Chains A and B, each alone.
Chain A
Amino acid sequence: MSEYSEHRMESEMGVLLRAGVIVACSIMLVGGVLYLLQQGAAHESYQAFRGEPAPLRSVSGIWREVLAGNARGLIQFSVLVLIATPVLRVVFAVYGFTRQKQWMYVAISLVVLVLLAVGLSEHV
């Protein structure tokens, strides 16, 4: 069995990153067109900061908005896919470094993953 080389891991990482961005931007484009069809004539103001409504602030809320056919929810879902892309890259690094038996870098990747999880948890 050939060794799982660093170069191979890096190129697989590249494929993962690119796929994530393509998928996210495609969903965002569809959501954007739907949004303009649904609410293109409305007037949204961004001058004062009010914060997004609660359903667009959490993963479960965004998913419900998508199922309800809300275009703003669909765009927000594409944002989640985009955020997940670098996170998955770190998960992939844990896997890749494990296959290479580079335990120190497995540990380092896990620390990064924990930090990402802290940011994504809803209690910060």
Chain B
Amino acid sequence: MTNALFSGLVLGGSVIAGFVGSLTGLGGGVVILPLLTVAFGVNMRYAVGASLISVIATSSGSAAAYVRDGFSNVRIGMMLEIATAAGALGGAALAAYVPTSKLAILLGLVLIGSLFAPVNRETHGAQLSPPEPATAGRLSGTYPGPEGPVHYAARRVPLGFGMMGMAGLLSGLLGIGSGAVKVLAMDLAMGLPFKVSTTTSNFMIGVTAAASAGIYLHRGYIDPGLAMPVTLGVTAGSLTGAMLLKNADVHLLRLFFRAVIFALGVEMIYNGWAGRI
């Protein structure tokens, strides 16, 4: 296959992956990996490198909008980024010593596990009234609700911090954003409102990925001929998905994509198990 044909096909596949990742809330990274490794026969290490770069682009691009809307909490995000960045460094350092077949199985488990994570529901969380005064740690915040600002505060911070370390580790190992684990840590463990959790997670993904990106680059995981169509495609697909989410009822489409992701997860585990990746 010539580079031109390969780039075109990967670009098309990446647009679809970004679109599916955005509609399901899982992110483009976890969707592009099975596509590259299974459909295009790309080595897992190159695939992981290209995926990680696309993750930085989509996260930073969409975080810009979320930060403006006032839902993401920059302070909580920054504090937890200590855990995700440290985890990502560990994961990226470890990645070279883990056989690709094991990485494939891990990715399959993450894909299937992510389907059970809460990706889209009404915002809840520990709502405080009257608002607590800002404490020294200030792990609290407000978000714009329909009837004025809603106050919230984080609890079980050490547990959330630990889960964020795991999210970073997975991100560094697999070149994914691990948004699902980050949302779990903030929403379930720390009791933050759901919308705050998802937008802050998105905000954090770029820094988490940047922590491992340098290690990937030095190890030669990032190939420009692959990273280019993957990053441009996933970014375009995610933007399209985000626009559709705003303007259309995507319930059925999302259900279908979740089934696809389940199948991809099984495929990764099978291929890893059979030693084909």
Contact = CB atoms under 8 A, between A and B. Distances in A.
B67 A11 contact: yes
Contact of A115 (B45, B68, B89, B224): B89
A71 to B, nearest CB: 8
B74 A17 contact: no
Contacts of A47: 41-43
A29 B228 CA distance: 8
A118 B188 CA distance: 31
A92 to B, nearest CB: 10
A57 to B, nearest CB: 5
Contact of A93 (B4, B78, B210, B212): B78
Contacts of A42: 2-3
B207 interface: yes
B248 interface: no
B199 to A, nearest CB: 11
Given A14-B67, A24-B57, A32-B232, A89 B207 contact: yes
B82 interface: yes
Given A42-B2, A49-B45, A57-B217, A86 B64 contact: no
A73 to B, nearest CB: 8
Describe B's contact surface by its main secondary structure.
helix
A75 B214 contact: no
Most buried by B among A24, A79, A116: A79
A115 B74 contact: no
Interface string A7-29: 10111011101101100110011
Given A32-B232, A57-B218, A82-B53, A115 B64 contact: no
A17 B68 contact: no
Nearest to A39: B3
B92 interface: yes
Contacts of A121: 214
Contacts of A75: 224-225, 227-228
Contacts of B1: 43
B86 to A, nearest CB: 6
B228 A31 contact: yes
A54 B53 CA distance: 19
A111 B164 CA distance: 16
Nearest to A80: B217
Most buried by B among A73, A83, A124: A83
Interface of A: 6-7, 9-11, 13-15, 17-18, 20-21, 24-25, 28-29, 31-32, 35-36, 39-44, 46-53, 56-58, 71-73, 75-76, 79, 82-83, 85-87, 89-90, 93, 102, 104-105, 108-109, 111-112, 115-116, 118-122, 124
Top 3 A-B pairs, shortest CB-CB distance: A51-B220, A75-B224, A86-B206
Given A25-B235, A32-B7, A104-B136, 13 more contacts: A9-B74, A15-B64, A17-B67, A21-B57, A39-B225, A40-B4, A42-B2, A44-B223, A76-B227, A79-B53, A87-B207, A119-B92, A120-B214
